A = this chain, B = another copy of it.
Amino acid sequence: MKTSLDCLPCFVRQTLDAARMVSTDPAFHESFLREILARITEMSLDTAPAVFGRELHRRIRGLSGRGDPYREAKERQNLFALALMPGLREEISAAPDPLILAARLAAAGNVIDLGAPGAISETSVRESIAQAMTRPLVGEENGFREEILSAENILYLADNAGEIVMDRLFIERLGPSRVTVAVRGGPILNDATRADARAAGLAEIVEIIDNGSDAPGTLLEDCSPEFLRRFEAADLVLAKGQGNFETLAGHPKNIFFLFKVKCPVIAAEAGAPVGAHVLIRSAGAQGRLA
* A30, closest chain B residue (CB): B5
Whether the pair A26, B5 counts as a contact (CB closer than 8 A) is: yes
Q: If the complex has contacts A37-B41, A38-B41, A41-B34, are A16 and B26 also in contact, measured as CB distance less than 8 A?
A: no
Of the candidate stretches A7-15, A59-67, A97-105, A141-149, the one touching chain B is A7-15
Cβ contacts A1-23/B at 8 Å (1 or 0 each): 00001101110110010000000
Residues of B within 8 A of A16 (CB): 5-6, 8-9
CB A105 to nearest CB in B, in angstroms, measures 30
- Report if A33 contacts B (CB, 8 A): yes
In the assembly, how many copies of this chain are there? 2
CB A21 to nearest CB in B, in angstroms, measures 14
Whether the pair B9, A10 counts as a contact (CB closer than 8 A) is: yes
- Report if A45 contacts B (CB, 8 A): yes
Residues of B within 8 A of A9 (CB): 9-10, 12-13, 16
For the complex, give the distance between the alpha carbons of A13 and B6 in Å: 8
* A15, closest chain B residue (CB): B9
- Report if A54 contacts B (CB, 8 A): no
Q: If the complex has contacts A38-B41, A41-B41, are A33 and B5 also in contact, measured as CB distance less than 8 A?
A: yes
* A37, closest chain B residue (CB): B41
Residues of B within 8 A of A5 (CB): 16, 26, 29-30, 33
CB A40 to nearest CB in B, in angstroms, measures 6
For the complex, give the distance between the alpha carbons of A34 and B41 in Å: 5
A interface with B by C-beta (< 8 Å): 5-6, 8-10, 12-13, 16, 26, 29-30, 33-34, 37-38, 40-42, 45
Q: Could you show 21 A-B contacts with beta carbons less than 8 Å apart?
A: A5-B26, A5-B29, A5-B30, A5-B33, A6-B16, A8-B16, A8-B33, A8-B37, A9-B9, A9-B10, A9-B13, A9-B16, A30-B45, A34-B41, A34-B42, A37-B37, A37-B40, A37-B41, A38-B38, A38-B41, A41-B41
